[in-house]
Amino acid sequence: MSVFDPECTSREVLEHATGRWGALVLASLADKPLRFAEVRRQVTGIGDRMLSQTLQRLHADGLVSRTEHSAIPPHVTYALTGIGAPIADRICELIDTIYQQLPAIVAHHYACTDTGSSSVAPDADAATAQAAVK
Amino acid sequence: MSVFDPECTSREVLEHATGRWGALVLASLADKPLRFAEVRRQVTGIGDRMLSQTLQRLHADGLVSRTEHSAIPPHVTYALTGIGAPIADRICELIDTIYQQLPAIVAHHYACTDTGSSSVAPDADAATAQAAVK
């Protein structure tokens, strides 16, 4: 069994922890517990229903806790659990790496727009250029 | 601009690099370049069209290169670029962390099944237990 096997729980958890919204919701909780509306405000564009489903999945996997506070007014906070915290850490590192690579990615987008094609990758371009020099 | 902003390129790249299949396709290329059919064999369950779309997106972001080999028979290989390699590394670390947490996640799934509910998270359980002791 491995993450590549659809029957393995790790694949299901990877899909929940990344997926369309999972990664952003986990990253939003990295600093401190948040209320539902606070997560929604941070993860711009997520709808109430989708956020509710995403939190439920992460909660069912044990990655996110849900705590009801009986203070006035009563409210609920969501937080990373001991299981979810190291997974959220890895997602934050992934996001940091994407930030680091962003100038190169944006340059690549522009280069593809300029040539009107993205059918040849940078490495292939370099190989073609080297072949032309030889 | 940040990954939480729908207008930021980093969010688009995060969605492509994780998404439903992106993370598995990037992880499959971590060791060595692969042909299309080799990626499909490794990422069990992915269809031809979905794999093609996923590779196109990762290629358009500059994360994956596509090289045509004129050997007989001619074939195409996909590989991580200099931009994609560190991002794939972070995804492999995320997968490793999920493997490490898997026993706890599976135990949590069983515990939720036993109680017939997943409405209270482990942390909340602990808090309730502590409150009951006090």
Tell me the average confidence (pLDDT) per consecutive run of 10 residues in chain B, 134 residues long.
90 89 96 96 95 96 94 91 97 96 93 62 38 34
Chain B residues in contact with A17 (beta carbon < 8 A): 94, 98
CATH class of B9-128: mainly alpha
User: Considering only CA atoms, which of A61, A54, A64, A5 is closest in space to residue A30?
Assistant: A64
CATH 1.10.1740.10 matches A9-133:
no
Distance CA(A97)–CA(A75), nearest Å, equals 35
**Which pTM value belongs to this model?**
0.83
* pLDDT of the residue at B10: 93
Chain B residue nearest residue A28, CA to CA? B4
Residues 6+ apart with CB under 8 A from B82: A104, A122, A123
Q: With bands split at pLDDT 50, 70 and 90, how would you rate the model's confidence at A118?
A: very low
Query: What chain B residue is nearest to A40 in terms of C-alpha separation?
Result: B4
Question: Residues 6 or more apart from B45 whose CB is under 8 A from it?
Answer: A6
How many whole angstroms separate alpha carbon B131 and alpha carbon B121? 15
Provide the angle, in degrees to the nearest 10, between the axes of the packed helices B48-60 and B9-17. Answer: 140
Residues 6+ apart with CB under 8 A from B98: A3, A10, A13, A14, A17, A87, B105
List chain B residues with CB under 8 Å of A100.
Answer: 86
> A residues 5-64 near B, CB within 8 Å?
5-6, 9-11, 13-15, 17-20, 22-24, 27-28, 42-45, 56, 59-64
Q: Closest-CA residue in chain A for B81?
A: A123
Over residues A8-19, the pLDDT tens digits come to 999 999 999 988
Q: What is the mean pLDDT of chain A?
A: 86
Query: Which residue in A3, A105, A120 is closest to B13 by CB distance?
Result: A105
Give the residue from A1, A3, A57, A69 with the most B CB atoms within 10 Å of its CB, the best one to mutate.
Answer: A3
| Residue the block writes with tokens 């994956």 | B64
* The predicted structure's pLDDT at residue B13: 93
